[in-house]
């Protein structure tokens, strides 16, 4: 099936990649095989690629780049990537990206000269001082838009016939529409440039995260120029994918002979033999990168609202110069509204605390069920799914197993996972697979993420999250001091967020809370760093928690002096 999709072309390759992220539609064996479509795709002709570069930039490639790889270092369904050096004047100081020397498979054009075209000189003279010199040049496959348009039309017609002829639970035409709309967005590299620039501004300050810079003045609809990242791919996302790769390498599967074989070296998972290999990381170092990825994913999905929507392991690079986790390929990014982000966070809290009844309500709020669904019908089945997932405790929760079990239940009840939920589960499954391959005793992603979740819950000004916190701290009318203590201790383990990290809505509209966040979080970070759980409780953003504590202490004192426990401080005091 995978090889057939590869031969059919880019649209069908993308179909396979999209289906690989849908555990509610296909069994695990199919998903594991389709994930291999993230590997190398046969490249198109280099001469055509250079001609397209020159057409889009309006200047000879040899005058814009002093050196460029003779062949692509990576090829995907929509385009392929070359490594290059900008042909900047030696007197112009630009940022030098750490990278090994070029090998013999690079074409050297030399420094810019007075004979360069006016267009080339104009492009290069306008580059800001922080522009990286070592760059990756992504070039779109010729005719890919027309090919995909025709393929989408044929595919949509075919699935419509299939749905009418067979008893298929899923709305297949809607699925194709959902996928094709994001796919056509990927065909305009100017959108990817804007996505990458925004992603860097939002998450580039996170500890352990690296986001390469774009070169906006050289980005066009079919050509994208961005900073080169030297490094290696993270481990495979799952044991099943690892096994399939080994089987293919040993001759057990007939992969296309024209496709370059994957190799764990260089940026964009480059197979170029001239590049220096990146040493394999220790299990401990790999797990540190997983923790970085989990924290960044939580910021994207549950805090800011702008997220990297193509989270397969090929888009994570471990940067060789400093060991940071680098994100690449921003063609598919998406947004999550405030209400959904809050529901995701409360659902995580309810899952961690085994409050499955509340979790079923969260699923309704998250749009997992179509309008009119009766909660009483699906709640028992969902409770069973989550109870089985948490049977061994929070440390044994496997997102891969949970997504498969949840997908089966959703299929049986004719429901469909929302797009954002699919992407979130896939992202966490990728990180979990990396962690499990590094350490079989890895405690689990939810346990790793819970400190961040606890800190966010305790400090959020959102009325909905404060209501969720209240419901968590009370059992009937009884206040649970042990639950608050547990949340504080967990939250103290999470590093403070960077100053002025606000939601996407706030950052894009110059919201006044953005300025306040910088001051408030700066003070809070100093307090919590020094005082742990107590420092967190005394921080400015924990005022709501202190109010609850004071109220409960007042009730306790009032009760002790014989007053009405519900009346707070009594006049007798």
Residue partners of 101: CB distance under 8 A and separation at least 6: none
Helices and strands in the chain, H and E counts: 22, 14
Comparing C-alpha atoms, which of 102, 336, 326 is closest to residue 234?
326
Which tokens in the block code for residue 409? Answer: 């239940």
Q: How far apart are CA 355 and CA 369, in angstroms?
A: 19
CB 56 within 8 A of CB 223: yes
Instruction: Judge whether 310 counts as a catalytic residue.
Output: yes
Describe the strand order of the beta sheet including 209-210 as a list of residue ranges.
Answer: 209-210, 325-327, 316-319, 231-233
SS (H, E, C) 216-284: HHHCCCCEEEEECCCEEECCCCCHHHHHHHHHHHCCCCCCCCCCCCCCCCCHHHCCCCCCCCCCCCCHH
Note whether 131 and 74 are within 8 A (CB). no
Single out the catalytic residue among 39, 310, 362, 541.
Answer: 310
Q: What gap in Å lies between CA 435 and CA 284, rounded to an integer?
A: 9
Q: Which residue has the tokens 């997992």?
A: 368
Is residue 260 within 8 A of residue 289, CB to CB? The reply is no
CB 48 within 8 A of CB 71: no
Q: What angle do CA 245, 249, 252 make, to 5 degrees?
A: 90
Q: Alpha-carbon distance 448 to 434, whole Å?
A: 14
Contact 3, 255 (CB under 8 A): yes
Instruction: Using CB atoms within 10 Å of the CB of residue 111, give its burial: 0 to 12 exposed, 13 to 18 middle, 19+ buried.
Output: exposed
- The rounded Cα 399 to chain-centroid distance in angstroms is 15
Determine the length of the chain.
573
- Phi and psi based region of residue 166 (left: phi greater than 0; alpha: psi -120 to 50; beta: remaining): beta
Residues classed as catalytic: 310
């Amino acid at each position: 099936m995978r090889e057939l999709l590869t031969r059919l072309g880019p649209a069908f390759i993308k179909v396979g990649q999209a289906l690989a992220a849908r555990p509610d539609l296909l069994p695990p064996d199919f998903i594991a095989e389709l994930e291999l479509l993230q590997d190398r795709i046969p490249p198109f002709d280099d001469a055509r690629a250079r001609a397209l570069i020159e057409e889009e930039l309006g200047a000879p490639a040899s005058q814009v780049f002093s050196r460029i790889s003779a062949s692509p270092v990576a090829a995907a369904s929509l385009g392929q990537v070359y490594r290059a050096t900008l042909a900047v004047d030696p007197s112009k100081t630009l940022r030098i990206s750490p990278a090994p020397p070029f090998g013999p498979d690079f074409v050297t054009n030399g420094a810019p000269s007075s004979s360069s075209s006016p267009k080339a000189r104009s492009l290069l003279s306008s580059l800001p001082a922080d522009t990286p010199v070592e760059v990756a040049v992504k070039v779109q496959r010729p005719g890919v838009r027309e090919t995909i348009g025709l393929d989408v039309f044929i595919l949509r017609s075919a699935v419509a016939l299939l749905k009418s002829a067979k008893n298929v639970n899923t709305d297949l035409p809607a699925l194709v529409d959902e996928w094709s709309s994001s796919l056509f967005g990927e065909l305009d590299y100017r959108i990817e440039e804007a996505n990458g620039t925004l992603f860097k501004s939002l998450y580039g300050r996170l500890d352990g995260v690296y986001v390469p810079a774009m070169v906006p003045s050289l980005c066009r609809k079919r050509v994208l120029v961005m900073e080169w990242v030297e490094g290696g791919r993270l481990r495979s996302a799952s044991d099943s994918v690892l096994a399939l790769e080994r089987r293919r390498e040993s001759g057990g599967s007939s992969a296309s002979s024209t496709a370059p074989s994957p190799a764990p070296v260089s940026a964009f998972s480059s197979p170029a033999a001239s590049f220096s290999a990146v040493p394999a990381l220790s299990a401990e170092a790999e797990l540190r990168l997983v923790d970085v990825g989990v924290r960044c994913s939580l910021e994207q999905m549950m805090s800011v609202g702008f997220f990297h929507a193509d989270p397969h392991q090929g888009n994570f690079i471990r940067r060789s110069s400093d060991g940071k986790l680098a994100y690449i390929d921003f063609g598919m990014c998406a947004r999550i509204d405030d209400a959904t982000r809050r529901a995701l966070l409360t659902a995580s809290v309810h899952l961690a605390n085994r409050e499955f009844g509340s979790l079923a309500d969260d699923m309704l709020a998250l749009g997992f069920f179509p309008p009119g669904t009766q909660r009483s019908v699906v709640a028992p089945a969902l409770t069973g799914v989550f109870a089985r997932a948490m049977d061994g405790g929070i440390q044994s929760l496997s997102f891969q197993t949970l997504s498969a079990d949840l997908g089966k239940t959703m299929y049986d009840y004719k429901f469909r996972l929302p797009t954002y939920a699919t992407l979130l589960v896939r992202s966490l499954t990728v990180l979990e697979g990396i962690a499990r391959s590094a350490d079989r005793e890895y405690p689990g992603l939810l346990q790793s993420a819970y400190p961040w979740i606890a800190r966010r819950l305790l400090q959020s000004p959102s009325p909905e999250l404060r209501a969720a916190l209240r419901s968590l701290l009370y059992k009937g009318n009884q206040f649970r001091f042990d639950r608050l203590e547990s949340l504080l201790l967990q939250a103290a383990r999470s590093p403070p967020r960077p100053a002025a990290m606000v939601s996407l809505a706030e950052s894009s509209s110059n919201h006044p809370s953005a300025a306040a966040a910088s001051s408030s979080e700066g003070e809070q970070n100093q307090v919590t760093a020094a005082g742990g759980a107590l420092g967190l409780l005394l921080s400015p953003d924990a005022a709501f928690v202190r109010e609850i504590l004071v109220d409960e202490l007042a009730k306790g004192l009032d009760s002790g002096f014989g007053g009405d426990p519900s009346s707070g401080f009594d006049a007798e005091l």
